[in-house]
Amino acid sequence: MANYFLDSPELEFHLHHPLMKKIVELKERNFEDKDKYEDAPVDYEDAIENYKRLLEITGDITANIIEPNSESVDEEGPHLVDGRMVYASKTFENLDATRKAGLWGVSMPRRYGGLNLPITPYSMASEMMATADAGFQNIWSLQDCIETLYEFGNEEQRKKYIPRVCQGETMSMDLTEPDAGSDLQSAMLKATYSEKDGCWLLNGVKRFITNGDSDIHLVLARSEEGTKDGRGLSMFIYDKRQGGVTVRHIEHKLYSRFSYV
């Protein structure tokens, strides 16, 4: 049976980079989780064995579920239904398989339900996803947006959103607008604080957003009225459960098959 990890010895090479020991020690903070969590590594060798086990599972899922589904996902594509994006049927199978294998929120600390993976094994898993299906790799690897929330969010936001991503909720990064692409500082989507609702209300249009109907979005918006450059912008969390967003159009951005005449 095919396995994208076991069948590609050049991938494992990354785990043996001389810097890995330092990276693992920093990420594991000298293995301080070892007495708190059953799955936490006790030392460097144990951590590498953990990564290998996880990458082997990823190698199995990518080769035997995601790759065989990829043609059907490409043929069917996502659908626009009543202002919502609905994935191709087999994308749901891919999501289900990766969720059951615990491949979501993998880089997040264990206290939020993550696996505390360093970027190297995360990137190796991402490479296998891309080998199987470049489109699904985008959906899966956008879980990386959670790093921004972890780094810059407060503890209340972390506790609310990180466990959801670790359970398999999807993410997107909503920056581009019809008049703000390369020149991102000109983003104009408006953020207004509502005393009545006790939260910020966002009003405007984004476009070209990969996985743009995800569960949890990070949205760049103008929070300082009267500003025109980067200094009046802030990043907001949009939770799809709250509603209020309509998908107008699905871009045909990624095709893996071409016909030449």
Contact residues for ligand FAD, defined by CB under 6 A = 172-176, 181-182, 208-210, 253
Q: Shortest distance, CB of residue 24 to ligand FAD, whole angstroms?
A: 30
Contact 137, 130 (CB under 8 A): yes
Of 196 and 252, nearer to ligand FAD (C-beta) is: 252
CB of 220 vs ligand FAD, minimal distance in Å: 8
Toward ligand FAD, which CB reaches closer, 175 or 202?
175
| Position of minimal CB gap to ligand FAD | 181
Strands (E), the chain: 79-81, 84-86, 171-174, 190-194, 199-203, 216-222, 233-239
Which CB, 182 or 259, lies closer to ligand FAD? 182
248/253 with CB nearer ligand FAD? 253
Least distance to ligand FAD from the beta carbon of 70, Å? Answer: 17
Least separation in angstroms between CB 3 and ligand FAD: 29
Q: Identify which of 173, 61, 182, 176 has the alpha carbon closest to the alpha carbon of residue 125.
A: 61
Distance CA 103, CA 113 (A): 11
CA distance 138 to 144: 10
DSSP state of 261: -
